[in-house]
């Protein structure tokens, strides 16, 4: 654990919009310096409003926040110098080249001369855009544009980077490439990253800590493993070659150490186990002894969607539908690992 002061701290943020829309309803947030926090929630949960306040683009009705040690309300200019923001909508000039965009961005932050050129080269290299540096951005693929957006956010070497839905709209290959790049940034540069996403899989993969947002506040926060661990253990699903004797199977499996929640129904037998992989051979032996032969067994980890369901009281997809703004993007749950 880092002993540095948190890079982001927000306390009891409240924000309402005209028409009595409560966007934030007591948002509390702490992001450790040099860590990646995933703000995860369905559309309308309040993620963008949180980011707008932290990046000084909106003011809360009440509450307080500091970013990189600066108060967002008292010293917005200092906050702006310390952060990089990669919005959902690209800020790049489509008719300028990738390099021109980077140089212009550097100038906006007061960089000059050789320093700006070498920073542009470094970023073009790092984001695999060196070959395309002299081409107009409007000819870039979606993945290239997104990589340039992230590079633009980093020109002035910010301490905290805000990434709003960094892979929405990207094809799977470009999404994986972007994930690799974000992981590297976090690891190599000690950058603090606040990532908003409605992809469960993205949060699981990139964030050291995940804060699940629902109806304008955090409903639960922890590491991806802590959150999934709250669902206790693995699910082991087994298929029998023939219908089993339910009572006998339940009795024998309930006696296996570390196994609970036994469900037997015809050929299908499911249990929860503290360690699914370790339990499988023991379960198979126990079933054979009870006269049942197993055709197939799978071990699945609980998904973040299960966690979301438990804390928000509804499924991700239900929350988005209820908000009336169904997303076109698929919601990927953390599947078996
Ligand atoms: P998310 O980023 O999680 O999708 P938002 O922060 O954009 O959520 O929105 C939170 C709530 O505030 C939603 O109900 C949304 O409709 C509402 N909202 C956001 N921006 C505005 C605005 N400018 N005017 C009115 N309502 C808004």
Residue 302 CA to ligand 1 centre (angstroms): 30
Position 329 pLDDT exceeds 60: no
Boundary residue ending a domain (212, 227, 242)? 227
120 and 203 fall within a common domain: yes
**Which residue, by CA, sits nearest to atom 22 of ligand 1?**
17
Q: What's the chain's Rg over C-alpha atoms? A: 24
Which residue carries 């709003």 as its tokens?
164
- Residue 17 in domain: yes
Which atom of ligand 1 is nearest the CA belonging to 216?
10
- Residue 117 in domain: yes
Contact (CB, 8 A) for 40 and 197: yes
- Residue 241 in domain: yes
Pairing of strands 268-273, 160-164: unpaired
71 and 117 fall within a common domain: yes
In 3D, which of 190, 197, 96 has the Cα closest to residue 152? 96
- Give the pLDDT confidence score for residue 129 in this predicted structure: 96
Boundary residue ending a domain (181, 208, 227)? 227
- Residue 328 in domain: no
CATH code: domain of residue 18 = 3.40.50.300
Residue 278 CA to ligand 1 centre (angstroms): 46
92 and 148 fall within a common domain: yes
- Give the pLDDT confidence score for residue 3 in this predicted structure: 56
- Residue 323 in domain: no
Residue 176 CA to ligand 1 centre (angstroms): 28
Tell me, using a 6 A CB cutoff, whether residue 41 lines ligand 1: yes
- Give the pLDDT confidence score for residue 125 in this predicted structure: 95
CATH code: domain of residue 297 = 3.30.70.2470
71 and 133 fall within a common domain: yes
154 and 205 fall within a common domain: yes
- Give the pLDDT confidence score for residue 308 in this predicted structure: 76
Position 328 pLDDT exceeds 60: no
Contact (CB, 8 A) for 289 and 252: yes
Confidence of residue 8 (pLDDT cuts 50, 70, 90): very high
pLDDT in tens, 23-51: 999 999 999 999 999 999 888 899 999 99
210 and 270 fall within a common domain: no
Pairing of strands 234-240, 294-300: antiparallel
- Residue 314 in domain: no
Is the pTM above the cut of 0.85?
Answer: no
pLDDT in tens, 185-209: 888 778 999 999 888 888 889 999 9
237 and 162 fall within a common domain: no
Residue 4 CA to ligand 1 centre (angstroms): 32
Which atom of ligand 1 is nearest the CA belonging to 15?
12
- Residue 334 in domain: no
Of 158-167, 246-255, 263-272, least confident by mean pLDDT is 263-272
Residue 3 CA to ligand 1 centre (angstroms): 34
- Residue 40 in domain: yes
Task: Pick the more confident residue, 207 or 328.
Answer: 207
Of 130-134, 144-148, 188-192, least confident by mean pLDDT is 188-192
Position 59 pLDDT exceeds 90: yes
198 and 254 fall within a common domain: no
Best residue for ligand 1 mutational test, from 10, 44, 319, 326 (most atoms within 8 Å of Cβ): 44
C-alpha distances out from residue 246 to 242, 282, 292, Å: 12, 18, 10
99 and 214 fall within a common domain: yes
| Close Cβ partners of 242 (under 8 Å, ≥ 6 residues apart) | 267, 292, 293
102 and 173 fall within a common domain: yes
Tell me, using a 6 A CB cutoff, whether residue 260 lines ligand 1: no
Number of domains in the chain: 2
Contact (CB, 8 A) for 159 and 83: yes
- Give the pLDDT confidence score for residue 323 in this predicted structure: 57
Boundary residue ending a domain (227, 249, 279)? 227
Residue 82 CA to ligand 1 centre (angstroms): 25
136 and 244 fall within a common domain: no
Q: Which residues constitute the domain of residue 78?
A: 8-227
Tell me, using a 6 A CB cutoff, whether residue 175 lines ligand 1: no
**Which residue, by CA, sits nearest to atom 6 of ligand 1?**
46
Tell me, using a 6 A CB cutoff, whether residue 47 lines ligand 1: yes
**Which residue, by CA, sits nearest to atom 23 of ligand 1?**
17
Best residue for ligand 1 mutational test, from 10, 46, 87 (most atoms within 8 Å of Cβ): 46
213 and 65 fall within a common domain: yes
């Amino acid at each position: 654990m880092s002993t540095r002061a948190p890079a982001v701290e927000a306390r009891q943020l409240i924000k309402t919009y005209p028409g009595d829309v409560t966007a934030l309803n007591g948002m509390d947030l702490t992001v450790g310096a040099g860590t990646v926090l995933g703000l995860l929630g369905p559309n309308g949960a309040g993620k963008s409003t949180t980011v707008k306040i932290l990046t000084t683009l909106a003011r809360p009705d009440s509450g307080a926040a500091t970013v990189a040690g600066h108060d967002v309300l008292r010293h917005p200019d200092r906050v702006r110098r310390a952060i990089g923001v990669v919005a959902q909508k690209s800020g790049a000039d489509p008719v300028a080249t990738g390099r021109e965009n980077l140089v212009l961005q550097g100038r906006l932050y007061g960089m000059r001369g050789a320093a700006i050129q070498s920073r542009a080269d470094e970023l073009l290299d790092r984001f695999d855009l060196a070959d395309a540096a002299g081409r107009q951005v409007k000819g870039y693929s979606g993945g290239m544009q997104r990589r340039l957006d992230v590079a633009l956010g980093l020109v002035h070497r910010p301490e905290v980077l805000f990434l709003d839905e960094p892979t929405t709209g990207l094809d799977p290959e470009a999404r994986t490439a972007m994930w690799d790049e974000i992981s590297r940034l976090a690891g190599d540069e000690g950058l603090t990253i606040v990532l908003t996403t409605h992809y469960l899989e993205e949060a699981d993969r990139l964030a050291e800590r995940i804060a699940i947002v629902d109806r304008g506040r955090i409903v639960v926060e922890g590491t991806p493993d802590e959150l999934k661990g709250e669902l206790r253990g693995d699910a082991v699903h087994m298929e029998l070659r023939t219908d089993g004797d339910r009572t006998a199977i339940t009795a024998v499996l309930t006696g296996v150490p570390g196994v609970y929640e036994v469900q037997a129904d015809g050929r299908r037998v499911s249990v929860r186990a503290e360690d699914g992989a370790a339990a499988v051979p023991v379960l198979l032996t126990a079933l054979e002894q009870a006269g049942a032969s197993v055709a197939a067994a799978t071990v699945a980890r609980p998904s973040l969607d299960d966690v979301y369901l438990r804390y928000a009281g509804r499924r991700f997809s239900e929350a988005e539908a209820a908000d009336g703004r169904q997303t076109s993007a698929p919601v990927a749950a953390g599947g078996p690992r």
